[in-house]
Amino acid sequence: MAETMPTYYDLLQVERDATPERVRAAYRKLAQKYHPDKMPDNVNAVRAMAAINAAYEVLSDGQRRAEHDLWIRRAGRTAAPLPCAPEVPKDLWDVLHPATSWPWYLLFGTFVVAFGTVATAVYLTAMPARAASVPSADSCRAAITAPTQPCRPRS
C-alpha cells in the first residue's frame, strides 16, 4: 500500500477541524522545540523550522487553509486502489464460457447467418436450370402436337 503524503495538519500535529487558537498553540509549541537556536548541533533544525513556518502560514489563513483542504480531498480521491487485472484463463472452457465470451458467440453467429445468406444467393444465381426442369404449361402444348406422349396436368 502506498504511503500518504503528510499534510500541514500532520506537520503541526493538529486535527483537521482544529480552531485557529489550537493551530497557533501547536505552532508555538513546535517552534520552541525545533528552533535552530535551541538546537545548534542539529543540521535539520533549519529545515524543520521552515516546514513548521510554512504549515502555520497556510493553516492560519482561511482561504489558503480551504485550498489545502481541497488539495487533501483531491489527493485522497486519486489514491484509490486500481482494480485488479483479470485472471489468465486456465483452460479452454474459461475462454469459451458463454458468460464471459458472449460477444464472440454473437460475432460467430452473425458470420454464420451472413455466410448462409451469401451461399444461398450464389446457389440460386448459379443454378437457374433447376426452374426450367419443372414441367409447365408450355410443355403440355408441345405434347399436344406430338400425340405419342400423354400430357397430364400437375395437381
Residue ranges of the alpha helices (H) in the chain?
8-12, 20-34, 45-60, 62-78, 92-96, 102-126, 129-132, 137-145
Q: What is the pLDDT along the chain (155 residues), one digit of tens a residue?
A: 345 678 999 999 999 999 999 999 999 999 998 888 888 888 888 898 999 999 999 999 999 999 999 998 888 776 667 778 878 888 888 877 878 788 888 999 999 999 999 999 998 888 766 555 555 555 556 555 555 555 566 65
Residue 55 gets which letter from DSSP?
H
Structural contact between residues 12 and 54, judged by C-beta atoms closer than 8 angstroms? no
Topology classification of domain 8-78:
Helix Hairpins (1.10.287)
Question: Any idea where the domains of the chain sit in the sequence?
Answer: 8-78
d(CA 70, CA 133): 85
